Structure 1
Amino acid sequence: MNFIKKQMYNPFAVALGFCGLLIFIFGILWILVPPPPKSIELATGFPTGLYYQFAERLKTELAKDGVGLDVRATGGTIDNLALLSDPKSGVNFAMIQGGVADVSKYPQLVSIAGMFYEPIWVWYRESTFKSDGGRLQVLGQLKGKRVAIGNEGSGTLALSTALLKASGISESDFSPEKLKPDAAIDQLKSGKIDAVFIVAAAEAPILQKFYSIPEIRLMSFDQGDAYTRNLPYLSKVSVPRGLLSSVFSMTFLSKISQ
């Protein structure tokens, strides 16, 4: 006891004891609150899509801070949600189309930020709608048509299904084709399908392929206001004439990618 009392007045012993206490506290915090990982995995989408390209740019930026980013190509939003929900997948983060995830089904997931708007594009063959003056203005006109609604695992499939349902159209009313974007472009070009749904930012390279197809037009959502009321995660965006590679003005439905 006398030894302890003597050490209490010994500056060196006090300093040594204080250092020991700090080491103990930091050791406990290290166990309970581990440091940020030096390597993370991000689920994106097709390698030709904007999600994947954005992730590649992010990979370069994170590397400057000593953090490695593994970019995983997927079929799209639905696949990404499944990977996030699987603790064995190794995926830490994913890019998700806004409005697709049902919060009640994924209560453990957290949205970090909204990133950019993604218009819903509906491309169609003008000749298919001759009786309507060559124009597709409402989704009800797709009844009896062959339509690509997005591939399995994609947010496009989830969103096109929601839009068609809101329009009172079931899969028995038309011929749905669950195609990947490149396959949909090939079939639209060859005339095997009449229209294609695709959800992508205006900068996405895949859209340039649609522009190059002759006799293909882009739908303007005349009922955009109604859709935004029924599906609150959508926004109406008007694009003035001449802004895109088209000769007419359009109204898009858009959503924020997260």
Structure 2
Amino acid sequence: MDFIRKNIYSPSVIGVAILLLGLILFAVLWILVPPPPRSIELATGFSEGLYQQFGKKLQHQLSGEGVSLTLKTTGGTRDNIALLDDPNSGIDFALVQGGVADISKYPNLVSIAGIFYEPIWVWYREAAFKKEGGRLSLLSQIKGKRVSIGSDGSGTLALTMELMRVSGLSVDDFRAEKLRPDEALAKFSSAELDVVFLVSAIEAPLLKKFYQIPDIRLMGFEQADAYLTQLPYLSKVKVPRGVLSIAQDIPRQDMKS
């Protein structure tokens, strides 16, 4: 006891005590609050889509911070949600289209932030709507038409089906095809489709390929406000005239999407 009393205030003893205390505190924090991961896997979407492009930009930025980001291409939003919900998938984060996930079914998923608006684009052939003066203004007009509604696992398919539901339509009312955007583009270009539904941000390179197809037009949602009352997770976005192509004047008027 005398030895302890004599040395307890010794600078070397105090230094050792502080070091031990620091090590214990570090160990506790390491267990309770682990350091951020240095390797992350992100589910994006189609290899040619905007989600993939965004993922590549993020991948480049994080590499400068010493973080390795692996990108996983998928069929789209629904696939991404399934991967996030699967504890064995290895997916840490995913880009997901707003309004697709039912929160009650996925209580463990957390939304971090909104990144950009993704309008729903409804492209159509004027020739397919001759009786309507070459103009598609209501979804009820697509009855009997050849329509691409999005591919399995995509947010486009999920939103299209919801729009059909509140419009009083079913897939039996028209000739539906579940196609990826690139597949829809190819069939639309060869006149094998009358209408194509596509959910994408305005910056997506694929949009440019659509408006380069001759004799196609973009539908404006004249009932946009009515759809918002039925599907409140949607937002009304104004698409200015000529924003896709000033030279080709597409769209030819301000649109609601």
TM-score range, shorter chain: over 0.9
Structure 1 residues 247 and 28, CA gap change in structure 2 (3 angstroms): closer
C-alpha distance in 2 between matches for 1:196 and 1:62: 36
Deviation (angstroms), 1:94: 0.3
Deviation (angstroms), 1:15: 1.6
Letter of the structure 2 residue corresponding to residue 234 of structure 1: L
Kindly indicate which of the two structures has a greater share of residues assigned to strand. Answer: 1
**SS class of match (1:150):** coil
Indicate the residue corresponding to 1:251 in structure 2: 255
Indicate the residue corresponding to 2:205 in structure 1: 205
**SS class of match (1:244):** coil
Letter of the structure 2 residue corresponding to residue 219 of structure 1: M
Letter of the structure 1 residue corresponding to residue 255 of structure 2: T
C-alpha distance in 2 between matches for 1:180 and 1:244: 21
C-alpha distance in 2 between matches for 1:244 and 1:203: 9
Indicate the residue corresponding to 2:187 in structure 1: 187
Indicate the residue corresponding to 2:166 in structure 1: 166
Bigger drift between 44-53 and 229-238 goes to 229-238
Task: Give identity over the alignment, percent.
Answer: 58
Moved over 4 A (4+): none
Indicate the residue corresponding to 2:82 in structure 1: 82
Could you tell me which runs of 5 or more consecutive residues in structure 1 were left unpaired when the two chains were aligned.
Answer: 254-258
After the TM superposition, which residues 204-243 of structure 1 pair with which residues of structure 2 at under 5 Å, given as runs? 204-243=204-243
TM-score, normalisation: structure 1: 0.95
Structure 1 residues 59 and 247, CA gap change in structure 2 (3 angstroms): closer
Deviation (angstroms), 1:83: 0.6
Deviation (angstroms), 1:165: 0.6
Deviation (angstroms), 1:224: 0.7
C-alpha distance in 2 between matches for 1:230 and 1:187: 32
Deviation (angstroms), 1:247: 5.2
C-alpha distance in 2 between matches for 1:140 and 1:4: 90
Equivalent pair of 1:121/1:252 in contact (CA under 8 Å) = no
C-alpha distance in 1 between matches for 2:99 and 2:166: 15
Alpha-carbon displacement from aligned partner over 1:117-150 (angstroms, at most 9, x marks no partner): 1110000111110000000001011111111000
TM-score, normalisation: structure 2: 0.95
C-alpha distance in 2 between matches for 1:128 and 1:180: 22
**Aligned pair count?**
253
C-alpha distance in 2 between matches for 1:27 and 1:238: 54
Deviation (angstroms), 1:244: 2.7
Equivalent pair of 2:39/2:68 in contact (CA under 8 Å) = yes
Alpha-carbon displacement from aligned partner over 1:48-104 (angstroms, at most 9, x marks no partner): 111100110111111111111101111100000011011111110000001111100
Could you tell me which runs of 5 or more consecutive residues in structure 2 were left unpaired when the two chains were aligned.
Answer: none
Larger RCO: Structure 1 or Structure 2 (Cα < 8 Å, ≥ 6 residues apart)? 1
Are 1:45 and 2:45 counterparts? yes
Equivalent pair of 1:120/1:252 in contact (CA under 8 Å) = no
Structure 1 residues 247 and 52, CA gap change in structure 2 (3 angstroms): closer
C-alpha distance in 1 between matches for 2:74 and 2:251: 34
CA RMSD of aligned residues (A): 1.1
**SS class of match (2:40):** strand
